[in-house]
Chain A
């Protein structure tokens, strides 16, 4: 049974832009630790000689030809934007 450190939980939450209350932090700590345990269980399996797999299916790479298709009308592209400036998405000022 592994336990993820609370500071790791906070770091991951920060990276995911999540703001967790102390209760949520504790609950998340338990849940993430359980996930790590599950992965740990898999590590018991002998995998020597097994090639690492990144995908469950071994489909051939689908490729498309380099042809231009119509884009969305800018009005539709921006339809869900909370704020706009001309045809830009407007967001709170980003430094730099």
Chain B
């Protein structure tokens, strides 16, 4: 046996915070960044005598996710208590779903190196988040902030269908894109609103049963997912080749040392004693609720990418850039309906437009430039009314003022000179001043054509139509 005889078997569990205004079972705000314990109430503090009341929006967002991932949505799902003690869990149990989750049997398609991969989704269930514990604030103490306690989550569990760290990372990215597109999650790994645990095992290529799995935690970037899985797969293979056995355990990824190590806390072997939550009746959904959610589903990133390539003739990279942000893709489509060239529009939006957008905070939602105005600017370039470089200046001004491109071009004197008489006069003048260079050109030094064009452009203060100048100079110099 050698290490190449083994293959990795990976399944991912993603916890995604749902984009609601209030918590799952009470009216406290979910806003990030408030001072500690300022978003708490008797319900999320776990005080005696309170009852949870389910937030409708949580159900809608969870159902939307399930439908987008091709799941079956259970008409009747049940809440359970998951019992364990930790200071960030004030009730001593987490309200979650266990044996009868909201959604099951889904799938996600994504690409790895140009190849389509399909991963099965085992289940999606709703649950409440725990609070946050700070361990380094004071000697001998841990500090608990319960603002996050009761924030709604969905947990999305994949089947162990992933065979490499790269596949795992690509699956995660694709899943995040879908959730962001659906408006159910903000996709932020760093702030912890999109969190991932990985179940990793290895098996010999000829073996039929799965190996012992290890759960990896603390994977808060796509890079860490890849590194942690790579480390863990190599570690497990080493253990087996060294004659040992992989132990079922939970390991933490340390990104500084790039290694995984066992968690020290003695968890009671996952003895959570789940039982049905007596304070919440089962959630029953009628067909109308589910059908309404199905009708409201947007086109998903992967389908939209394929359509952008076929409908607008975009290179895959351009389509990927646009589709990554649903609002940006919407903006593109609105502009493309009026622009002279959808491909040029796409490259403009990746270039100058993206640069200006970043300066303004990165979202098109409160942009002063309407899609039709961007299209009008590109039409002006297409008709030769303004040069490409001057158009960049115009666009910058449009971002600041929201003015119409035609008015801006006139006001700033940026109109391109395409008038034949004016161009010819400028060309004649340059040729007359540079008779020596003209002789060299005629004698065969064709590469100095650019010199003449440059001189004419300079004489016209950069506003000459370069294509026409090129043609004129060539003609005047006899080809």
Residue ranges of A at the interface with B (Cβ–Cβ < 8 Å): 11, 14-15, 17, 54-55, 57-72, 74, 77-78, 83, 85-96
Contact = CB atoms under 8 A, between A and B. Distances in A.
A59 B76 CA distance: 12
A88 B271 CA distance: 29
A85 B39 CA distance: 17
Majority-rule SS of B interface residues: loop
A71 B58 CA distance: 19
Nearest to B285: A61
A61 B146 contact: no
A53 to B, nearest CB: 9
A67 B379 CA distance: 46
B193 to A, nearest CB: 17
B264 A60 contact: no
Contact of B21 (A17, A63, A68, A83): A68
B234 interface: no
Interface of B: 20-22, 26-29, 35-42, 45, 53-59, 78, 83, 85-87, 133-135, 137-138, 140-146, 252, 263-265, 268, 271, 273, 276, 278, 280-284
B28 A71 contact: yes
Contacts of B271: 11, 15
Nearest to A89: B144
B27 to A, nearest CB: 3
A90 B37 CA distance: 12
Nearest to B86: A94
Contacts of B39: 71
Taking each of A60, A77, A86, which has the highest tally of chain B beta carbons within 10 Å of its own beta carbon? A77
A88 B29 contact: no
B281 A66 contact: no
A76 to B, nearest CB: 9
A91 B87 contact: yes
A64 B41 contact: no
A63 B268 contact: no
Contacts of B59: 63
A88 B144 contact: yes
A61 B282 contact: yes
5 contacts: A69-B28, A71-B41, A77-B37, A85-B143, A89-B143
B251 to A, nearest CB: 12
Nearest to A72: B41
Contacts of B57: 65-66
